[in-house]
Amino acid sequence: MTKIVLLDRDTFPEDFKFHHPDFPHEWQEYNATSPEEVVERLSGATIAITNKVKLNAEQLAQLPDLKMIAIAATGFDHIDIAQANSQGITVSNVRGYAVSTVPEHAMMMILALSRSLKGYQTEIAEGRWQRENQFCFFSHPIEDLNNKTLGLIGRGGLGEGLARLAKGFGMNIITAARKNETTPKEGHTPFDEFLASCDIISIHCPLNDQTRNLITTAEFAKMTRKPIVINTARGGIINEEDAITAIDSGAIRALGVDCLSAEPPRDGNPLFKIAHYPNVIITPHVAWASNEAIQSLWNQLINNIEQWQQGSPQNAIEPSA
């Protein structure tokens, strides 16, 4: 019988109700799985379900019975795709499930930071408004989004979703070309020109060798309009120490991130030094996690498994991807 093992059930909300594939199988799940536990837990398994548990070449080589890895996410940088392919293991991910939730989360951050929501809420809780003589008080800047330029790094489904929302606020949208690209594709702005043109920058690209530390002190220095910078993609795309310097020096106006370079940040994170700032918002990697998106993700993941079982794999990732 097909054995299916879910390695990290706790990456879903506690009250989420899973449904299982519609074919005979043995189901086993673990709340979390450490690297040292991967091989033992997947021993004899046909299908592994993982959200963020890493499966490297050494581990996969010890799992001759494994035939499918069903990723409960879009990103697949935690799986050794080449090794899986060499062993005949199908690796499938889920796609398009977050085209509403991530753009809405990014838009929430943009609105909150543009209008200094965090700063005002904090000061009201501290009693500042109550001590004022006038009906309002002005302790933080408030800016409209109308006619501002939003720059997108990554214009796939998530970037396009944010562009659609931003247009409703009257924003102008530009898209970054790849860094150091000499002949940008039509509709893409050369990277350095892009950095200098944006009032707000939102990142929606994957983390890979080309995008790791994509934004460092050198890039912040080119942001002449002192933009709000939003990252709902992956930690590591923005250099976190350099982001602190950019905030403290005024090179950027505000920062909103939903992802850190190491998660969970048990050993801390440089950005926690500025987490209390009124112009900094950090959320715990939940941009993807609306109720609707989680259900859509799981539906697609189970469908990936059922299609593979029927001999028609879908959303399969190739080594060259």
Entry pTM: 0.89
Residue 321 has pLDDT above 70, yes or no: no
Of the candidates 41, 105, 155, 234, the residue annotated as catalytic is: 234
DSSP for 23-69, written as a single string: S-EEEEE-S---GGGHHHHHTT-SEEEESS--B-HHHHHT-TT--EE
Q: What is the pLDDT of residue 242?
A: 98
Q: What is the pLDDT of residue 320?
A: 61
Of the candidates 26, 58, 181, 263, the residue annotated as catalytic is: 263
Average pLDDT, the chain: 96
Identify the weakest region by mean pLDDT among 42-46, 77-81, 166-170, 257-261.
77-81
With CA atoms as reference, report the closest residue to 114 among 148, 154, 163: 148
Do 41 and 6 touch, CB atoms closer than 8 A?
Answer: no
* Interatomic CA distance for residues 119 and 108, integer angstroms: 15
Annotated catalytic residue 212: no
Residues 71-99 pLDDT 10s? 999 989 899 999 999 999 999 999 999 99
Average pLDDT over residues 285-300: 96
Annotated catalytic residue 234: yes
Do 25 and 4 touch, CB atoms closer than 8 A?
Answer: yes
Instruction: Give me the residue label for tokens 């996690």.
Output: 289
Structure token digits, residue 305: 């498994």
Annotated catalytic residue 285: yes
Q: Over pLDDT 90: what percentage of the chain? A: 94
Residues 148-192 pLDDT 10s? 999 999 999 999 999 999 999 999 999 999 999 989 999 999 999
Structural domains in the chain?
Answer: 2-97+291-309 (3.40.50.720), 101-282 (3.40.50.720)
Q: What is the pLDDT of residue 84?
A: 97
Of the candidates 285, 292, 306, 318, the residue annotated as catalytic is: 285
Instruction: Give me the residue label for tokens 């009201």.
Output: 124
Name residue 316's beta-bridge partners: 92
Residue 298 has pLDDT above 90, yes or no: yes
320 vs 283, residue with greater confidence? 283
Residue 35 has pLDDT above 90, yes or no: yes
Q: What is the pLDDT of residue 173?
A: 98
* Interatomic CA distance for residues 272 and 270, integer angstroms: 5
